[in-house]
Amino acid sequence: WCKLAYWEYRTRVGRLYAVHEASVNIFCELPWGSGFCLAQLPAAYRSCAVRRARGKIGRGLLLSREPGGVWAYNRSEHPIFVSSPTLSPPGACGLTVLKVLPGYSAKVFDYEWAGDRGGWQLPGEGPCDPHSIRISFAKGWGPCYSRQFITSCPCWLEVLLN
């Protein structure tokens, strides 16, 4: 139902991870169960900021495909920051970034809302797939942060919905 791409700043690390089950765990270190383990990705050069951010992922998050949409359950001890086209109100100047605190969850993509929008124009930086979700671990971005774009975040995940 989706593919996952892990990024460090502007560099994608590893291959796309295809998800076939209704939910998937995304975490940094074993043994947090089955799913997408970021520690198993190639260990290219990692800056101090990337290493610090990866150290905060811990148990990470659970992404779940449920009737009507996709939910993110934050299992980490630090917030995650999420953006998707269906989180932004119609006519918004930029994509909305939602902060999901530890132990909380949020509906991060609404299938019905996306279907009603048809050929929408996405606000924000660069090209963006209207059927994607972007999740940053521990670091926010947008107008209220020093990082204006997700590509300025040390560790982030792109969820490409099928």
The token duo for 158 is: 């792109």
Tens digit of each residue's pLDDT (9 = 90 or more) over 93-114: 678 999 999 999 999 999 988 8
Give, for 116, the enclosing helix (H) or strand (E): helix 111-117
Grade residue 88 by pLDDT with cuts at 50, 70 and 90.
confident
Q: What is the pLDDT of residue 29?
A: 80
Q: What is the pLDDT of residue 9?
A: 96
**pTM of structure:** 0.90
The residue with greater pLDDT, 44 or 111, is 111
Q: What is the CATH number of domain 2-161?
A: 2.60.200.10
DSSP 23: E
Nearest-angstrom CA–CA distance, 104 and 117: 28
**Dihedral (CA of 43, 25, 115, 113) sign:** negative
Ramachandran area for residue 33 (φ above 0: left; ψ -120 to 50: alpha; else beta):
left
Nearest-angstrom CA–CA distance, 127 and 149: 12
Instruction: Quote the percentage of the chain above a pLDDT of 70.
Output: 87
Grade residue 121 by pLDDT with cuts at 50, 70 and 90.
low
Tens digit of each residue's pLDDT (9 = 90 or more) over 62-86: 999 999 999 999 999 999 999 998 9
Tell the burial category of 26 from Cβ atoms under 10 Å away from its Cβ (0-12, 13-18, 19+).
buried
Domain regions of the chain by residue span: 2-161
Q: What is the pLDDT of residue 113?
A: 83
